[in-house]
Amino acid sequence: MGDLLQAWWREVVAVTKVFNWEQPWAEHHQPDHLPADAHGRRGMLLLHGYNCNRGLWNSWMPRLRRLNVPHMALTLEPAFGSIDAYAADIDRAMRTLQQLTGVPPLIVAHSMGGLSARAWWRSQGHPQDRIHHILSLGTPHHGTLLARLGTTMNARQMRGDSEWLNQLAREEPPVLGQHFDCLYGHCDQVVFPAETAVLPGSRVLHLPARGHLQLMFEPQAFDRAISLLNAD
């Protein structure tokens, strides 16, 4: 009960900040950072989740800019269309970052964004030279029970028994998890059961007493992203 109470008040703060300010009023407040001298420094692509936009990453982007990390944050559209529809925009951003830096980018994805990353990689045939690694934060890799209440196409795709998820898994290489770090919390009120946020073979970071949106505001999430950015 103590963990649930802690998760509740943290999530109230995060939800109020994101949905009352960052996304409706400050979606483009923080620009992408594509410095001319970026060659040789790995870039980062930031992908938001369901019913969100790039404003979700407003707390990350100034910190990345201070570290001079090349990065882009997308608003995935159409908001309630198929997850597969986001692949083209993700591919353009990935190519932009790789052409700028000369090295494959890191993807950091919250919630549905992690499925968008998987769908993009599938659309490219899972090439090893197009991606460095993927850090997923509370992604329903195996679906979530909450999606049964959703009626939009991408919500239906996130149901645990959806044919879209099953087909995605069938068409992925057995070693897919080795390309992921999966961060999750057992108090996630959106992705549950909590273990659905973990891919077999991935490196796992569990954060106790954290709700769904709060996962991306945790210092451990940003620190893990920077660690992956600098890893060989």
The CATH number given to whatever domain includes residue 98 is 3.40.50.1820
Alpha carbons 114 and 46: distance in angstroms, whole number: 10
pLDDT of residue 214: 94
- Give the structural domain span for 57: 2-27+42-230
pTM for the complete prediction?
0.97
Give residue-wise pLDDT tens across range 119-131.
999 999 999 999 9
What DSSP element (H or E) covers 118?
A: helix 112-123
Q: Is residue 34 part of a domain?
A: no
Q: Does the residue 37 lie in any domain?
A: no
The pLDDT assigned to 179 comes to: 97
Q: Is the per-residue pLDDT at 162 higher than 70? A: yes
Phi, psi (rounded to 5 degrees) for 33: -120, 105
Q: Output the pLDDT for position 108.
A: 98
Cis, peptide link before residue 62, omega less than 30° from 0: no
| Assigned domain for 33 exists | no
Residue 48 falls within a domain, yes or no?
A: yes
Amino acid identity for residue 33 in this structure: H
pLDDT band at 1 (very low <50, low <70, confident <90, very high): low
Give the pLDDT mean for 30-56: 97
Question: DSSP letter at 33?
Answer: B
When the pLDDT of each residue in the chain is averaged and rounded to a whole number, the result is 95
Give per-residue pLDDT as tens, 86-126: 999 999 999 999 999 999 999 999 999 999 999 999 999 99
196 part of a folded domain: yes
- Whether 119 contacts 168, CB under 8 Å: yes
Predicted confidence band of residue 9 (pLDDT cuts 50, 70, 90): confident
Q: How many domains does the chain have?
A: 1
Is 36 part of any domain?
no
Distance (Å, whole) CA 128 – CA 179: 10
Would you give the distance in Å from CA 89 to the centre of its chain?
A: 15
Asked whether residue 32 is assigned to any structural domain, the reply reads no
